[in-house]
Amino acid sequence: MSSHYEAPIREPLVLGEKSYHDISVDIAAPVLGKANKSWWIVFTIALIAFLWGLGCIIYTVSTGIGVWGLNKTIGWAWDITNFVWWVGIGHAGTLISAVLLLFRQKWRMAVNRSAEAMTIFAVVQAGLFPIIHMGRPWLAYWVLPLPNQFGSLWVNFNSPLLWDVFAISTYLSISLVFWWTGLLPDFAMIRDRTKSPFQKKIYGILSFGWSGRVKDWQRFEEVSLVLAGLATPLVLSVHTIVSFDFATSVVPGWHSTIYPPYFVAGAIFSGFAMVQTLLIIMRKVSHLEDYITVLHIEYMNKVIILTGGIVAVAYLIEYFIGWYSGVPYENYTYLSFGAATGPYWWAFWALIICNMVVPLSLWVKSLRRNIRWTFFVALIINIGMWFERFDIIVVDLSKDRLTSSWAMFQPTFVDIGTFMGTIGFFFVLFLLYARTFPVIAQAEVKTILKTSGAGFKRLRAEHGDN
Amino acid sequence: MYTLPSKLRLFSIILVVLGLIGIVYGFLTVPKNTDEVRQILSEQEAHHGVASHNADDTANFVDRARGEKGYSEAAMEHATDLRPEGHGVSSHEEHVLHQMQTRPWSATLVAAFFFMMIALGALVFYAIQFASQSGWSPVLYRVMEGITAYLLPGSIIVVLILVFAGTHFFPWQNDELVAGDKILQGKAGYLNFPFFVIRAVIYLLGWNLYRHFSRKYSLEQAVATDYTPYRKNFKISVFFLIFFILTEATMAMDWFMSMTPHWYSTMFPWYVFASLFVSGITAIALVTIHLKACGFIPFVSDKHLHDLAKYIFAFSIFWTYLWFSQFMLIWYANIPEEVTYFVIRIQEYRLLFFGMLVLNFVFPILMLMNSDFKRIPWLVVITGIIVLIGHYIDVYLLVMPSTVGHHYHFGIPEIGAVFFFLGLFILVVGASLGKTSLKPENDPFIRESENYHF
């Protein structure tokens, strides 16, 4: 697939004088070693948050949705905000593994495994909300078109909420399969390296008896490409369908045709910010600085600049068309003069500052390659993208067509606790993953070592094969 | 060094001459007053029986879908026949006269914009190759530069048409109409003639300056000893892309959306972009195949063609995604202000409207799915031509329903305009390709690109 020649102008993707063996050792180390104290501390905190969130969910379901801060005007608030936020975060994983594979970006190989893990864990969090925000979640199975004893009572396929069911469940299954397929050679590597019989057994099962024959590799690559080809339209369509939840309605501010591509761009934007947040810590903690280099961080920052730019253009268009349409109701939408000065002014400006202003700093090369600054900007973007969804949902609902139904939204501790719980759950899963899974696709990194490894690039420069 | 084959040159000159005759014929044969319109209408009725948009025609697709008789007629009147409130009702014939007089303008604009957008699409693709430090495409830089040479004459012609067509295209340029229309008054801060022209000039300058400098640096790189020109090109490409995404949005709104000034859609600019981009890539593929067949670019392999075909495939799907999203959201919510745009297109342009989906989506997806097919030049040529025809129809549907309404045809003015601009395009691109060596020497990625295999 990739040529053996690489332009000398390209910076190396694997630092240090690595050999194939070094790669295996470095990547297997966190799995084969023992967790340290700080891992246990962070894990405990995440677990407590998760359990607290679980308590909030149980309380909600057993008492009623009324324990949330929703009212008759604003029927969706934190629940769907968090849902869209988590789904959006999940999109970067598939972008990295599928879209960047189609574009043959070699730098993807050091980050795809963790990005995909993040996708799956984020989609799991997202998947909670459509269930728990129901008034009668025990009847949730009615959304499935199953033959039944009510004269085969069927679902209505016209609702984007039903499309969500299919989109999210398909997305989760395809991502899982894609991720697991890529894991097979890496699990096999752990299986072959471990000394513990228990681990050998477990990784033997997980790796499905992968033996790395030529024919297997050939099919493996073909499957990866086909899955990438399928996952790319999927990733676009999933967040498109999520955007349809709003855009198909007639609510001013929600009904906007730009939503599908704009939501997708926003998803990639927020997803990459989350990848940065996680990987900047992980490369340090798991000693993977030679694989997840400053160059990788810079490339991801460039993707953030690109998608952030697309989102910014979408904001401008929304704001402009809101004025251009001449529709008076458009003055109370989340991107309008009314929103900038109204009771939710702080949410409006949080959105503008976090998503449009702060990411602009990444245009400066030294900041884009500055790890601390990147971490800070990534956190800001995560907050900003939460506000984007909050603004779209709550600000637009709060001032609808009839002034008599205008209202404000105040979250309760259950709203907040549930959100905190999903963050805890996410980190529980991610921390467990970081200890038990090969967090970098070593099989893939080995394919680029000889073209993009620092040592081999130096050898080529010395021997004049540039 | 490439020279346009003499037969192709002769062919394009003939196209230009024939096309010019067709365009002039179109302008000379428009009806001059309502009497002539009445005559034409009665002749048409004699020919076709009852005209399709007649009020007593109840078998109406949109009305049936909506379950509301007379809905589409009312919607279309609303969309295409803006008239000042309180100025009485202008006669049906006057309205038709205006539409018929607009036809040669529209016919010329459709073809002029279509070829301009090919050059612009290729320019954007070119800028993206630099900005992304692409390793496969440097062998195609000269091909892309050849195509973008058409941007300068093409964009000037388009802007001239837009400026001189005036109220033929843009009802908001009719002062009398604006005086009686509150909505248009509200938009006058943006939709006014001086600002419109200023914006158009900014677009022209920005796009053409980038094209000028990128070409200049690209040629400098071929004789340079270091990568300074390349780095400059990288930088200006990034800034061009920012400039482009902003100006493309306002361009689409200025030039096409404001033809129906009451209608608006936030997706619209991106939709126009998708059309422009896929057409540009398709043209790159077609020119590459031509040059390869003539033996001028031996360093371009079928792997490069494969990649181009993949881009055609992918962006055809992307175009469809945006088309569907815009259409479905408007269809689903069914808000009266918005649906008029699609009502007239479905009601009066049904075959073209849905036919274009077959050409732009179904056809490329079936032809280019197979990876072996993407390396077969004649197959890519056929698909490419179909895609280009599809996107011509796309532009036609952006313009015609908004300007000439029911009175659209595909006759001498339209064919003449296509001939003229196709001929001009081939001549300009051919001349530009012949100006320098077709291999961009010294590009930092040229060796990667030559050794490229997939």
* CB contacts, 8 Å: A259 with chain B: 266, 325, 329
pLDDT at residue A152, as a whole number: 87
> Smallest Cβ distance to B264: which of A5, A259, A325?
A325
Helices (runs of H) and strands (runs of E) counted in chain A: 18, 0
Chain B contacts of A257, Cβ < 8 Å?
265-268, 325-326, 329-330
- B186/A1 touch (CB, cutoff 8 Å), yes or no: no
B135 at the A interface (CB within 8 A)? yes
Q: pLDDT band at A1, cuts 50/70/90?
A: very low
Best mutation target among A99, A317, A333 (most B Cβ atoms within 10 Å) is A317
Mean pLDDT of A47-52: 97
CB contact under 8 A, B329 and A255: yes
Q: Which of B187, B253, B445 lies at the smallest CB-CB distance from A326?
A: B187
On whether any CB of chain A is under 8 Å from the CB of B326, the answer is yes
- Asked if pLDDT for residue A2 goes beyond 60, the answer is no
CB distance from B264 to chain A under 8 Å? yes
Kindly indicate the confidence band of residue B178, based on its pLDDT and cuts at 50, 70 and 90: confident
Q: How far apart are the first and last CA of chain B?
A: 28
Give the mean model confidence (pLDDT) for residues A169-193.
92
Please state, in angstroms and rounded to a whole number, the distance separating the CA atoms of residues B206 and B229.
20
Q: Residue B227: its chain A contacts at CB < 8 A?
A: 9
Q: What is the spatial distance between Cα A317 and Cα B435, in angstroms, rounded to a whole number?
A: 41
Q: In terms of DSSP H, where are the helices of A194-213? A: 197-206
Cβ–Cβ of B268/A257 closer than 8 Å?
yes
What ipTM was assigned to the predicted interfaces of this complex?
0.93
Q: How far is residue A366's CA from residue A361's CA, in Å, rounded to a whole number?
A: 10
* Cβ atoms of A396 and A253 closer than 8 Å: yes
A91: confidence class by pLDDT, cuts 50, 70, 90? confident
pLDDT tens for residues A268-313?
999 999 999 999 999 999 899 999 999 999 999 999 999 999 999 9
pLDDT, residue B56, reads 44
- Cβ-nearest to A1 among B265, B447, B454: B454
Least confident of A254-263, B299-308, B442-451: B442-451
Structure tokens at A427: 């980190």
Residue B409 has pLDDT above 90, yes or no: no
Are B321 and A260 inside 8 Å of each other by CB? Answer: yes
pTM (2 d.p.): 0.93
B117 Rama class: left (phi>0) / alpha (psi -120 to 50) / beta: alpha
Q: Which chain B residue has its CA at the smallest distance from A225's CA?
A: B371
Q: Which residues of A touch B341 (CB under 8 A)?
A: none
SS3 A5: coil
Is the pLDDT assigned to residue B361 strictly greater than 60?
A: yes
Mean of per-residue pLDDT scores for chain B: 88
In sequence order, the β-bridge partners of residue A453 are A14
Average pLDDT over residues A6-27: 89
Confidence of residue B48 (pLDDT cuts 50, 70, 90): low
Q: What is the nearest CA distance from A261 to chain B, expressed in angstroms?
A: 8
Q: What's the confidence (pLDDT) of residue A460?
A: 85
B266–A256: do the CB atoms touch at under 8 Å?
yes
Contacts of A250 in chain B (CB under 8 A): 333, 335
Residue B395 tokens read as: 């532009």
Please compute the mean of the pLDDT values over residues A97-117 and round it to a whole number.
90
| Long-range Cβ pairs for the range B86-95 (8 Å, 24+) | B86/B180, B87/B176, B87/B180, B91/B34, B93/B34, B93/B37, B93/B38, B93/B41, B94/B34
Top residue of B266, B315, B317 to mutate, by most chain A CBs within 10 Å, is B266
**Is B82's pLDDT higher than 80?**
no
Chains A and B form CB pairs within 8 A to the count of 89
Contact B329 A257 (CB under 8 A): yes
Q: Closest to A321 (Cβ–Cβ): which among B186, B246, B266?
A: B266
